[in-house]
């Protein structure tokens, strides 16, 4: 004779743990968009550079590219050493340049459309990232200067686009537009 034990029934969760975790992460990112926006383009460039590095190594092993060519050296350098300076410059320029420029443009150029204002803000933010990278990395040729500056501008536009999508509507722009409306 066996002893039967009564098992307590454990209530099961109704939702999926992964779905709830995803929802919590999405809500946190939306609430704190300013924390994550400066990193988006830097992380995207980091991943893109690593994919290109894998492609370059594959081409070198298959004989499609010679090791003496400088293309793979530039890609590997950006994949390994370019990520941290880009991330640092992106964060510094986001809080030191992009947010104040948004308020300034909202006050001075209130007749601009919101799209134009965001494009100009992203360009100024990107130019600041590009200049900070130029000061930090000190490239030696004009091609490298242009490449570093274009990467900075692309990172600024990408980050500002991401921030704009998460923080809708932009409180700085809306605050200045509400101040200027007649009562």
- Is 180 a member of any domain? no
**Cβ–Cβ contacts within 10 Å for residue 29, how many?**
13
pLDDT, tens only, 63-112: 776 666 666 666 666 666 677 788 888 888 888 998 888 888 888 888 88
Long-range contact list for 116-119, CB < 8 A, 24+ apart? 117/173, 118/160, 118/161, 118/164, 118/170, 119/157
- Is 3 a member of any domain? no
**Per-residue pLDDT band at 38 (split at 50, 70, 90):** confident
- Is 88 a member of any domain? yes
Of 168 and 144, the structure prediction assigns the larger pLDDT to 144
- Is 137 a member of any domain? yes
Structural domain boundaries, residue 36: 20-168
- Is 83 a member of any domain? yes
- pTM for this predicted structure: 0.61
- Is 12 a member of any domain? no
3-class secondary structure, 11: coil
Say how many domains are in the chain: 1
């Amino acid at each position: 004779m066996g002893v039967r034990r009564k098992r307590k029934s454990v209530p099961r969760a109704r939702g999926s743990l992964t779905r709830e975790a995803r929802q919590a992460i999405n809500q946190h990112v939306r609430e704190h968009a300013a924390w994550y926006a400066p990193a988006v383009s830097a992380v995207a460039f980091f991943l893109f550079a690593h994919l290109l590095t894998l492609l370059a190594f594959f081409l070198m092993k298959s004989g499609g590219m010679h090791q003496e060519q400088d293309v793979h050296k530039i890609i590997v350098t950006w994949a390994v050493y370019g990520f941290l300076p880009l991330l640092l410059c992106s964060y510094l320029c986001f809080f030191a340049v992009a947010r104040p420029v948004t308020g300034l443009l909202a006050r001075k150029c209130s007749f601009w459309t919101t799209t134009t204002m965001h494009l100009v803000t992203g360009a100024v933010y990107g130019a600041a990232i590009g200049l900070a990278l130029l000061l930090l990395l000190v490239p030696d040729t004009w091609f490298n200067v242009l490449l570093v500056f274009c990467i900075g501008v692309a990172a600024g536009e990408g980050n500002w686009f991401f921030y704009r999508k998460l923080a809708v509507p932009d409180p700085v722009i809306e605050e200045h537009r509400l101040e200027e409306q007649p009562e």
